[in-house]
Structure 1
Amino acid sequence: MKMKLKFFTIVLLVGSYLTFAQEETSEVILQEFKAQVINAQTEEALESVHVVNLNQVIGTITDTEGQFTIQAAVNDTLYFSYLGFKSQKIRVTNDMFKFMDTKIALTELAYALEEVIVRPYQLTGYLEIDVKNLPINTSYQYSISGLSKSYEAGSKNPSAVTKVLGAILNPADLLRNLFGKKPNQMRKLRLIKEDDEIRDLLASKFDRETLTELLQLEKVDIEDILSNCNFSKSFIRTANDLQILDAISSCYEEYKVLNRKS
C-alpha cells in the first residue's frame, strides 16, 4: 500500500513539474527587434514607414535611415505600410534576432490617378437652383433615451423605429453573432486605441486593409458590424480607418452594456 502511495505521489509531482514547464515554455518573451526597410527597386532606405506588430498591437515608424526598433517575440507578425508601396507582412524568426542585419524590401506600386469629376451634380452657383439639383438624404435619425447617439433607420415609415429598437435591444441579433465570433480580436480594440503610432497610421488609411489585419476580420464583417450598429452607408464608405475603428469600438461598448442588461 505504501509503495502504491509513493508511486502515486511521484506521478503527481512529475505531472505538476511538466505542467509548470509547459507554462514557462509557452510564456511570450519580448525582445527588441531591429531592422531596416528599403525600396526593393533602388535599395534606398525608406523613412516614415509604419511598422505594426499585429500580435502585440504596438507600432512604430522608420527613421531617416530606414531603421526601426520594436518589441517582438519569435513568430510575431510585423505589418509594413507605406504610401505608394505594397503593404507587406513578415514573420519574426530566431535568426532575425541573432544577426541583427535584417532588411525588409517594399515594392513600389504602379498606379494612375483616376479622373476627378468636380461638378457631378451640374451646379450653377445659384442657391435656389442648386438646392433642387442636389440629392436628398432620406435616412432619418432616431434618438433613444439612455443612449449617447442617434441612429439611422432608412426611409421614414412605420417600421423604421421598430427596426432601430430591434437592432439595439434584441440580444440574439446579428451584432451579437459578429462580436461573438471574434472575441479575442475585439479585445484588441482597446490596445489599438492606446497606441499613437497605430492611430496615426489608421488616420491616413481609407482601404480597411490595416484594420482587417489588426482585428483579423474580413472587410465584409466590418461593414456588417457598422450596418447593424446603424451607421450610414455614406459613413462606412467615406470614413478613414481610424474613424471606422472608433465607430466599431463605440458600437462594441454599447453592445457589452446592453448584453449585460439582457
Structure 2
Amino acid sequence: MKYFVVFFFIIASVNVFSQGLEAPKKVSGIIINDNTQQPLPNVNIININKVRGTTTNDKGFFEIEVTASDTLHISIIGFQSLKIKVTNDWIKNKTTKIQLTEKAYALEEVIVGRYRLTGYLEVDSKLIPIQENIRYSISGLTQGYEAGEYSPNAFGRVLGSIFNPADMLYNFFGKKPKELKKLKEMKKDDTVRNLLESKFDRETIAVLLGVDKKEIAEILQRCSYSEAFIQTANDLQIMDAISGCYEEYKILKKKN
C-alpha cells in the first residue's frame, strides 16, 4: 500500500509538470474588415506571451503557435487594435474569424493659406532642423550618454547618469523583471522586429512590456536619451535603447 501511494504521487506530479510544459500548438485565423467583410492583408499578429509574430496574407489568413491562455495583439494602421485571449475551443477548432473596426478620424477644419508659386523652391537654411541626439563618450567608461549637443543641461545630465545611474532605474526595472526579459525575445523574431521598425506610435512596445506609453519616454529620459531621439526614433530603435539600458542596469545592480 505504501509503494502504491508513492507511485500514485509520482504519476500525479509528472502530470502536473507536463501540463505546465504544454507544447505550443499552431492555430489559424482569418481577419476581415467588420464593415466591408473583406479580408485584411498585412495585419500584424503578435503572441504577447511568446513574443512571436506573424502577418496575414492577401486573403487575410494567418497561422501562429500558441498555448491556451496566451494573448494575441492584432494591429494594422487605420484600424482599432485588438487583444484576443487564446481559448481551448480555438485550439480544438484550429481556426477562427476575427473582425477589425476602422478608426474614425474627424477632420474639423482645414485652412489653406495663399502662396505665390514662383517656379523654384527657396529654402532658408536657418529653418533646417538640427538633430540633437548626440551621445557623449567619456574616456574610461564603456558606455555613452545621450543628452543633446545644444541642450542647456546636457553636461549636467551626463554627470548625473555617471554618478547616480542605478537609482534612476531601480523604480522601473526592478518592478518588471519578467516583462523586460521579453526584450531579448523580441530581437529573435524577424516579424516583431520588422513591425517595430515600421512603427512610431509605441503601442506594440507598451503592450509587450506591460507599461503605459508615457512611461516609455520617462524610461528613456532616465537612461539619458535626448528629447530629439525620443520623439523621432522608430519603435525598433526605442526597443534597442531600452534593452541596452536594461543590460547596463543589471550590471550596475550586480556591482551594488
Q: TM-score range by the shorter chain?
A: 0.7 to 0.9
Partner-residue secondary structure (3-state), 2:160: helix
Post-superposition shift, 1:177? 2.1
The aligned counterpart of 1:32 is 26
Alignment of 1:111-122 (within 5 A): 111-112=105-106
Q: What are structure 1's unaligned runs of at least 5 residues?
A: 1-5, 119-123
Kindly provide the amino acid, as one letter, of the partner of residue 103 in structure 2: L
Whether 2:146 is the aligned partner of 1:151: answer yes
Whether 2:172 is the aligned partner of 1:178: answer yes
Q: Distance in 2 between matches of 1:101 and 1:155?
A: 54
User: Residues 115 and 214 from structure 1, CA distance in 2 versus in 1: closer, same or farther, beyond 3 angstroms?
Assistant: farther
Partner-residue secondary structure (3-state), 2:199: coil
Give aligned pairs, total: 246
TM (normalized to structure 2)?
0.82
Q: What are structure 2's unaligned runs of at least 5 residues?
A: 114-120
Post-superposition shift, 1:100? 3.3
The aligned counterpart of 1:41 is 35
TM (normalized to structure 1)?
0.80
Larger Cα-atom Rg: 1
- 1:223-246 Cα offsets, whole Å, 9 max, x none, are 221001111122212222111111
The aligned counterpart of 1:121 is none
Q: Which residue of 77, 85, 105 maps to 1:91?
A: 85
Post-superposition shift, 1:28? 2.9
The aligned counterpart of 1:192 is 186
The aligned counterpart of 2:56 is 62
- 1:130-157 Cα offsets, whole Å, 9 max, x none, are 53x6788889864323234333178546
The aligned counterpart of 2:118 is none
Post-superposition shift, 1:106? 0.6
The aligned counterpart of 1:217 is 211
Do 2:40 and 2:58's aligned partners in 1 also have CA atoms closer than 8 Å? yes
Post-superposition shift, 1:252? 1.4
Post-superposition shift, 1:259? 2.8
- 1:3-59 Cα offsets, whole Å, 9 max, x none, are xxx86x777665554433322222232001111111111111111111111111100
Q: How high is the sequence identity, in percent, across the aligned residues?
A: 44
Q: Distance in 1 between matches of 2:5 and 2:243?
A: 48
Do 1:138 and 1:156's aligned partners in 2 also have CA atoms closer than 8 Å? no
Q: CA RMSD in A?
A: 3.1
